[in-house]
Chain A
Amino acid sequence: MDNFFLLLGMALFTLVLLCLYRGVFGPGVLNRMAGICAIGTKTLVILLLMGFIYNRVEMFIDISMVYAFLNFVGTITAAKYLEIKGEA
């Protein structure tokens, strides 16, 4: 079962790299923002998979909840900034 979680995590890591490419080189601010938000959700799942591998899910759930919340606040902040300043 650990190997399955490990493979799943590696697949998600590859997807994170693709999103990172979109975040760094993406044309325009909106593409960058979408890429970074996608990285946040994938990181959350990777954290939970790490919890399953180390048999400490209850510990990693705490971290992932905080991560999800801060990701939410960051998304709202970026969206509000773009709404007020316009797409730069």
Chain B
Amino acid sequence: MTEDSLRQYPTDAFIEAVRARFPTEREIDAVLTRKMHRRNGPGFQAVALETLVEGTTRLITDQVGYPARIADARWLSGGASKLQMVFDLHWRGPDGEPGAAVVTPMVLRMEPAASVTESSRQREFEVIRAVEGTVPVPHAYWMDPDAHYLPYPAMVYGFATGTAKPSHDAGKVTGLGQNYGPALRAQLAPQFVDYLARIHNLPIGAPPVLASFERPVVGSNASVIRQVHAARRIWEEDRIEDEPVMAVVYKWLIRNAPPIDHVSIIHGDYRSGNFLFDEAQGRITAWLDWEGATLGDRHQDLTYASLPIFQHYAEDGETILVSGMMPEAALYAAYEQASGLPVDPARIRYFGVFNRYLVSVLLLAASTRAARCAATHQDVLLNHVSGMGYLALSDLRAYFRSATA
């Protein structure tokens, strides 16, 4: 068996060996293991809208305890990883008053057979519930984490209004080099910083809040190492070919993992393109894509938002704007002021390397493997974004050299 075919058709021994080498959080382990077992099963079959309507109706009816009805179901575009269906739910509303007739627009969010970011619906559901009221998010209503009702694990949340792209720049793959323009940027940038500060300062309650998230310990780097292991595990499971630079960086990430100084909810994908906004009012209306959320170090989100793949040049042709918002140094300064939490240059360097490593894994390994396995509804999109992989890897190499000089 070649290295590639072993990953395309993984044996139980291969799956278990990788699990043992790179221990990570229990829920992440379960998700990644399920991905590998699925790979030997039937390929992804296009799912009919009617199938989703039927499964979602059963899910909701079981949850609310009376027959609910779905109307005007249609596909929702956007995003590279999940199947989404928008619909109107005819039900009695959140209070369930008999005789009440409420129509609520909602979204079903379901995994395909594989994804650029293999993730847990359970965790996504829990973290949206945890941040609701602190930042604008659609309300998370119900979930089907074990695919009891639907073909794959799924959740249902409220439909959030707003757009992810400004009307003058709507052609881009969401969030990649997104240019909001000077006027909109001036309105959105302070909110972008403020919401990040709020998320990171949110107290983390005891379980059952965020029950499927393992709690990092202040003063320990064990949770950081678990995250590095998770990324490396995806590299081992999904890569098309090995890459010496990735091997060098992995060792450094393990050896230099910093202890946590403050435990925050980490969005994990905090950037342009992952929020909706009202273009007329210049107001962020919802933060989306919480599937990569974790508990950890705030510098992870700060450096992720600053990654080159989410940057573009300002109108002067010289100033680089991170996530289409502001220069990197300005982001960190504004964040310190908004959050009251210090930004540590050493941790910025570490998580700058970590996020570049992670993105290289997701682009060169996860995206490419999912497209090659014909495992999603968006193979052509995953194949396209995998073309950023060498940009990411080249940037990782250069950043690593400067960070470790």
A, B bound: no
Interface residues, chain B, with chain A CB atoms under 8 Å away: none
Interface residues, chain A, with chain B CB atoms under 8 Å away: none
